Amino acid sequence: MTTETITAVATAPGRGGVGVVRISGPNSVAIAETICGSLPKPRYAEFTTFKDAQGDVIDSGLVVYFPNPASFTGEDVVELQGHGSPIALDLLCQRVMSLGARMARPGEFSERAFLNNKIDLAQAEAIADLIDSATDQAARGAVRSLHGEFSAQINNLLRQLIALRMFVEAAIDFSDEEIDFLAEEKVGEQVQGLLAQLDEIAASAQQGSLLREGISVVLAGRPNAGKSSLHNRLAGHEAAIVTNVAGTTRDVLREQIHLGGLPLRISDTAGLHDTQDVVEQEGIKRTEAEILQADHVLLISDDEAHDTAILASFPADITVTLIQNKIDLMDETPRREDNDGLTTLSLSAKTGAGLDLLEQRLCEAAGFHPEQEGVFIARRRHLDALARAREAVETGYHCLADSGAGELLAEELRQAQQALGEITGDFTTDDLLGEIFSNFCVGK
Ligand SMILES: Nc1nc2c(ncn2[C@@H]2O[C@H](COP(=O)(O)OP(=O)(O)OP(=O)(O)O)[C@@H](O)[C@H]2O)c(=O)[nH]1
Ligand SMILES: [Mg+2]
């Protein structure tokens, strides 16, 4: 049972027009009354002054009171909305704490909302994802999850799973009777139906996870091939130094961008070649390390023989696209070729010609469909739980189909139920909750 009253500045750090101090817990009302003199009607804003222990005014602004349980956290919440001065907000927070509240931990307001059943775990995560979203689509996906679209689909699946499990368990109890309920086609059909729905949700969640996490793309290749030029073109500003001196780039340079709604972490790297220069050698080591972490490598082509050797040195599981750069010098038009599993794009980093082909290629290779509607934000942990649920249902189906083992099917359905329950937070551990909420910002 939570009894501590917590407080934090809920608005972003730094200066702004308005700054909000949030208080949640059983002492919120008493604390706020001491600071403001009195509180307005629930959910009404009232202009007031915030006073310190000596009765001097710290700031003036609005106070809003949300009595439990109709508040974000489900507890008594008071918001003091002052000016966005970091100093004034800090003084106000100190004042609230001197009256018996303690500083909230990161994500503690959302954690209390979860613990008080105001939102489920997927919704709590969506709050953080909305705040962190880097693209329009990610923000819209997060709002969908926050409003419970993802959870509703999971809960719908859970209801079907539970109903089927109850049927199977009941059928096991009747297995001595003449009718064998499990032999009926109905059970098999329902299991197949569950698998189809799991696949559908997983496909949508996969899109949501891409929206949230994006992919890492490394620009690699021989010196002077135009890696930094392409990096700058993608970043939209002159992030990297570009010269006609081979070996210009030595450090790995990273930028967060998005192309067609897909977030990308792009890295420009040192050119790959044999060199005696110790600085370049270190740069090349870093290039190689960067490539190992990549989802997709753009190999900027310079010289076919060398490129073939570089290509052969890449780990087999990394997606590679060969980029034939500088087509402006050859008066060529952008094009794409797919040969023996290798995709080659001809483009110009200098003019930007062919960048649309690159965007398409990166989205396609990542399995990202920008036009897909109704995508909700999702995390790796959700994909993992969906995959485990699917595996359990499938194993259970085979147990039934191959050997008529109803008990085994029931057990697999129970495991699938548990995996799905982890998404919404029906089944969680303190470790998981700690990990999720500690990644939130303070005040959320
Ligand atoms: N005409 C033309 N020149 C280009 C193009 N891309 C790059 N260049 C030129 O090629 C030279 C090398 O470009 P960079 O982008 O510095 O090449 P890099 O691969 O980063 O080279 P290092 O950092 O030395 O490995 C510069 O003079 C660029 O202006 C292009 O698409 N067209
Ligand atoms: Mg460079």
* pLDDT attached to residue 37: 96
139 and 245 share a domain?
Answer: no
Whether 200 and 230 map to the same domain: the answer is no
Q: What is the pLDDT of residues 352-388, one digit of tens each?
A: 999 999 999 999 999 998 888 888 889 999 999 999 9
Measured CA to CA, the distance from residue 111 to residue 379 in angstroms comes to 18
Q: Are residues 27 and 153 in the same domain?
A: no
Helix orientation angle between 185-213 and 380-403, rounded to the nearest 10 degrees: 160
233 lines ligand 1 (CB under 6 A): no
Average pLDDT of the chain, as a whole number: 93
Distance between CA atoms of residues 388 and 411, nearest Å: 14
pLDDT digits (tens, 9 = 90+) for 201-235: 999 999 999 999 999 999 999 999 999 999 999 99
DSSP label at residue 75: S
The answer to the question of residue 432 being in a domain is no
Indicate the pLDDT class of residue 269, thresholds 50, 70 and 90.
very high
pLDDT digits (tens, 9 = 90+) for 78-114: 999 999 999 999 999 999 999 999 999 999 999 999 9
Residues 260 and 338 in one domain: yes
Span 36-82, pLDDT tens digits: 999 999 999 999 999 999 999 999 999 999 999 999 999 999 999 99
| Domain carrying residue 81 | 6-114
Domain boundary pick from 366, 395, 413: 366
- Kindly state whether residues 359 and 241 are assigned to the same domain: yes
Residue nearest to atom 12 of ligand 1 (CA): 224
Q: Is 1 in the pocket of ligand 1 (CB under 6 A)?
A: no
Alpha-carbon span 261 to 136, nearest angstrom: 7
DSSP-assigned letter for residue 272: P
Helix axes 406-424, 185-213, angle to 10 degrees: 30
Q: Which CATH number belongs to the domain containing residue 154 in this structure? A: 1.20.120.430
Are 230 and 351 found together in one domain?
Answer: yes
How do residues 122-156 score in pLDDT, each as one tens digit?
A: 999 999 999 889 888 899 999 999 999 999 999 99
Neighbours of 299 (CB within 10 A): 24
C-alpha to C-alpha distance for 130 and 136, rounded to whole angstroms:
10
> Do 157 and 278 share a domain, yes or no?
no
Please list, in sequence order, all residues whose beta carbon lies within 8 angstroms of the beta carbon of residue 241, skipping any fewer than 6 positions away: 228, 248, 249
The verdict on 252 and 169 lying in the same domain is: no
Do 327 and 204 lie in one domain? The reply is: no
pLDDT at 151: 95
- Is the CB–ligand 1 distance for residue 35 below 6 Å? no
Rounded distance between C-alpha atoms, residue 161 and residue 407, angstroms: 15
The CA 152 to ligand 2 mean position distance, Å, reads 49
294 close to 216: Cβ distance less than 8 angstroms? yes
Residue nearest to atom 6 of ligand 1 (CA): 226
Q: Is residue 405 part of a domain?
A: yes
Please indicate, yes or no, if residue 441 is contained in any of the structural domains: no
As a whole number of angstroms, the distance between CA 183 and CA 193 comes to 17
Most informative mutation of 227, 230, 233, 242 for ligand 1 (most atoms within 8 A of CB) = 242
**319 and 177 fall within a common domain:** no
Decide if 289 is inside a domain. yes
Could you tell me if 357 and 223 lie in one domain? yes
Residue-level pLDDT at 1: 54
Q: Does residue 176 belong to any structural domain of this protein? A: yes
Helix, strand, coil share (%) of the chain residues, nearest 5: 50, 20, 35
- Look at the block and give the residue holding tokens 């059928």: 171
CATH assignment of the domain containing 244: 3.40.50.300
Distance CA 7, CA 23 (A): 4
Contact criterion met (CB below 8 Å) for 78 and 65: yes
Instruction: Specify burial of residue 143 (Cβ count, 10 A radius: 0-12, 13-18, 19+).
Output: middle
Within a domain: 119 = no
Report the pLDDT value the prediction gives residue 177, as an integer from 0 to 100: 60
Q: How far apart are CA 80 and CA 385, in angstroms?
A: 40
Same-domain check for residues 181 and 241:
no
